[in-house]
Structure 1
Amino acid sequence: MLGFFVVALDSQVVNVALPDIRSDLGGGLTGLQWIVTIYTLTFSALLLLAGTLSDRFGARRAYGAGMVLFVVASAACGLAPTLPVLIVARLIQGAGAALITPTSLALLREAYHDPTRRARAIALWAMGGSVAAAAGPVVGGALTQIDWRVIFFVNLPVGAVALLLLARVARSPRRPHAFDWGGQIAAVVALGSTTFAVIEGADRGYGDPLILGAIALALVAVLGFVQAQRRGSHPMVPPSLFAAPVVIVALVVAFVSMAAFYGVVFLQSLYFQEQRGASSLATGLLFLPMTALVAALNPLVARIAERYGRMVPIIGGQVVMAVGLVVLASLPPHAPVWLVAVFMVPVGVGGSFTVPPVTSLLLDAVPSAAAGTASGVLNTARQMGGSLGVAVFGAVLATAPVFQHGLRVDLLATAALLVITAVATVRWRV
């Protein structure tokens, strides 16, 4: 739970501090996108490898290595003298986060063999992220009033406590597992090229030769990844993992939900501060109704899933998110900021209702020996959604004639995607 907490906290506190970072280190909207996206991009690109490392070296050892890397990178972020240095440090942070997340889930899978108890444990694990989401904007806003660098130093004591507790955890089993280097390289190239094309294309123009080259490279890398998984002797993502339709549905829901949540947090942080003149602390407080309610309702999700089945919270969460996005898009440009904050609540609550049941659904659908790999695949889908959500939302914003127009296009398009995934969930009878 502490692992998921510190990873989620880092992504939340940074959004509120973006204007202050730009004032100190420079850079336009593209630079701000990279500060957020390079973390989630590295996170998503290395999650599959992290799942393999978890299975091969044991979840406990891999978790510890990831936490040490994350803490050291956090210190580097806080000390960064320039924007490029900060972006590189954020990249390393993403690598540490990639090791922490699937291994924390694998530790739960090893500790709880009963599906009901495991579902409750996963709900508590998810609560760590929910508490981080609730505290992140406010903590980030308050610390940014002192200095934006402090938002990174706060990770150090949390990481230290997690490592001390890890010493009391039983050793995890180690399973022979060969590395799929071809698949890993192809995955990194595909995600990196796609994100580069989306972010830089908004600035350079999507007809620029460099952008077209990045798109072509991404397509080739995707084909290479598929071939590596189909024909490789040790695929990073075994094709058999997708034999059950429920696995595919779970991954799509995770992707779209995170794209919506991360995209909204990125957009609304800029909206409150740059369009409505709110301070970083006031912005954090405006996020509080959404994030605090998410944390409060999180334990309820597992009980609802136990009583009514997983379909109810998964479908209901997507529909609630879609409704919230449509209402936000419909608000007039000068609506009271408190009203905007209120209508952000359905987006956060809907997202929180999907995460625990989707995670439980996937882990129950795969054998215990593949828990690390399955966790890596799930979290890859989630973080890919987050990184591409920020990239696409920012690209639309950068090319829109006015901020409000870009905001509405982003919100309505994402709401449509959520409706489609909700219908797909019903269709496949999750």
Structure 2
Amino acid sequence: MPGTSLKCPATLRDAPQSRLKPDRSGFSTPLTLAAMSLGYGVVQLDVTIVNTALGSIGASLGGGVSGLQWVVSAYTIAFAAFILTAGALGERIGAKRVFVAGFAIFTAASVACALSPNAVILIAARAVQGFGAAVLVPNSLALLSHAYPEDKACGRAVAIWAAGASLALTAGPLVGGGLIELVGWRSIFVVNLPIGLAGLWLSWRYASETARTPQREIDLPGQLAAIAALGSLAGAIIEGSSLGWSNPFVIAGFVVAAMLAMLFVLQERRASQPMLPLLLFGHRMFALTSLVGLLVNVAFYGLIFIFSLYFQRVNGWSPFKTGLAFVPMMGAVLPVNLLAPHLAERIGAPATIALGTALSALGCLALLGIGQGTGYLAMCAQLIVIGGGLGLLVPPLTSTLLGSVEKQRSGIAAGVLNATRQTGSVLGVALFGSLAGQHNALLHGAHLSLVISVGLLLAAAVAICFGASRPATQ
């Protein structure tokens, strides 16, 4: 989730001034920011750090490509499915209480990952980790908004919060590769323990609680339908490569996913306080930017998974060398994030989004010639272009989405964008991993994944350009 919005949630900005502001020392506010940054940073760290361990985890626990897909996807499925409910829970009983619980869950699950004796336990622990991540992200923003009541100060705080997460996203592969080389793959989860303990203490000691809204309902039927639908769809795609697409269990998985998705939509239409307000999609630019976020994440995070396997299994690179290979790609995101708003002011947000997606598509297209033993220098520039394209499109994408809805709904709109993008990550890893897992044709699957990514990214560029050029109907 690089390039997160630098706006504070308006739902909290405009909340009644019933939230009591306790006496705070001069260090309380910056230390609250530090705790929130640790929370978001550790979530982003685990998005990328695991990819460098795929080869080592596979060699240690077995399970093939489908097992590795589940190790990655279990985290993002829970992350995508629970993030909206976690924000609502924070509104209902207090964001600090929920955030602290989320940090404790994430930290405990990280220890369970490190101690996992087999792939099944690891996948289950990763799912719990993803749930903890879903709790941390929206409530960290809520607590930042509470700690910095002035818009300008809050904007600066969120910028620091997002920059720290981008740094963690970039450092993840390198740190993970180094730890695996020195200690082993389990160490990439142990590293979360000191971060988690520090974040827990800082948030418990210095963050102040937000006002509770007891009337805020939790859409439990919608939540259950969402996670079941997403899990069934991801499972059908992942297992399709190993069991065969005509296997009855795979077909049943697709059918169940479709039925649950329809039940989810029906539930959201009739719920008084839905988990996902469908009326938001009546705003054309909201719908378009959500679609772009989904398509971009399918391509980007699916390719990270594929490149991790390619570097380690096809080219035989070590985890550290694999992590090092991702640094330029991830490192391009943050500086281009900073340039993107200025470019959007000059040529417009839709054009900037389209340019970012087109650049990433060009980078994918230029990588179609990779083969066994392709040197890194022949790939580095293309990887930087892919990362730079992502960095260019996400800030205007987020600001356009938030600007497409009423100010008081920007908090839920940001949550929907995060959920949509994480859903794209789940589908990307499931789809591209399945292509690479067929008959051990990893290189062929990598080429197919690049072709699909080009198509998805260009489709996103066309969608945003065409949608933005149409006259408004509202």
Superposition TM-score, scaled by structure 1 size: 0.93
Residues in 2 aligned to 1:256 and 1:56: alpha-carbon distance in whole angstroms: 32
Residue 232 of structure 2 is aligned to residue 193 of structure 1? yes
Change (3 A) 1:54 1:301: farther
User: Cα 1:400–1:256, aligned 2, differ >3 Å: closer, same or farther?
Assistant: farther
Structure 1 equivalent of residue 112 of structure 2: 76
CA distances 1:77-98 after superposition (whole Å, capped 9, x unpaired) = 1111111111111010010011
Change (3 A) 1:53 1:357: farther
| Contact 1:106 1:372 (8 Å CA) reproduced | no
Deviation of the 1:328 alpha carbon: 1.1
Q: State whether structure 2 residue 338 is matched by structure 1 residue 299.
A: yes
Q: Give the equivalent residue in structure 1 for 2:91.
A: 55
**Pairs within 5 Å for 1:27-426:** 27-109=63-145, 121-145=157-181, 146-166=183-203, 167-175=205-213, 176-306=215-345, 308-367=347-406, 369-399=408-438, 402-426=441-465
Percent of residue pairs identical: 41
Q: Aligned partners of 2:455 and 2:300: how far apart in 1?
A: 14
Question: Cα offset for 1:399?
Answer: 2.4
Shift of 1:52: 1.8
Letter in 2 for 1:412: V
CA contact (8 A) 1:314 1:354 kept: yes
* Cα distance per residue 1:372-395 (max 9 Å; x no partner): 433321111111111110000011
TM-score normalised by L of structure 2: 0.85
Contact 2:332/2:391, CA 8 A, preserved across alignment? no
Whole-angstrom CA distance in 2 between matches of 1:190 and 1:59: 28
Q: Aligned residue pairs: how many?
A: 430
CA, structure 1 residues 171+360, in 2 after alignment: closer, same or farther (shift >3 Å)? farther
Alpha-carbon offset, residue 64 of structure 1: 2.0
Query: In the aligned structure 2, how far is the partner of 1:401 from the partner of 1:269?
Result: 15
Residue 185 (structure 1) shift: 1.3
Q: Deviations over 1:91-136 (max 9, x none)?
A: 1001001111222334455566777776655444332332122111
Question: C-alpha distance in 1, partners of 2:323/2:84?
Answer: 33
Cα 1:423/1:204, change in 2 over 3 Å: same
- Compare 113-122 and 412-421 and name the one that shifted more: 113-122
> Alignment partner of 1:428: what SS?
helix
Distance 2:335 2:64 in 1: 36
Alpha-carbon displacement from aligned partner over 1:5-51 (angstroms, at most 9, x marks no partner): 11111121111011111222222111111111111111111122112
How much does 1:314 deviate?
1.9
Q: Which has the larger radius of gyration?
A: 2
The AA in structure 2 aligned to 1:101 is V
CA 1:185/1:260 → structure 2, altered by over 3 Å: closer, same or farther?
same
Gaps of 5+ in 1: none
Q: 1:292 to 1:197 in 2, by over 3 A?
A: same
Q: Is the 8 A contact 1:3 1:162 kept in 2?
A: yes
Gaps of 5+ in 2: 1-36, 470-474
Partner SS state of residue 273, structure 2: coil
Task: Tell me the C-alpha RMSD between the 2 structures.
Answer: 2.3
What's the offset of the Cα at 1:276?
Answer: 0.7
Partner of 1:3: 39
In structure 1, C-alpha distance between the alignment counterparts of 2:406 and 2:347, rounded to whole Å: 24
**One-letter code of the match for 1:63?**
F
Partner Cα separation in structure 1 for residue 323 and residue 224 of structure 2: 38
Is contact 2:281–2:287 with CA below 8 Å preserved after alignment? yes
Q: Judge conservation of contact 1:123–1:298 (CA < 8 Å) in 2.
A: no
* Deviation of the 1:367 alpha carbon: 4.7
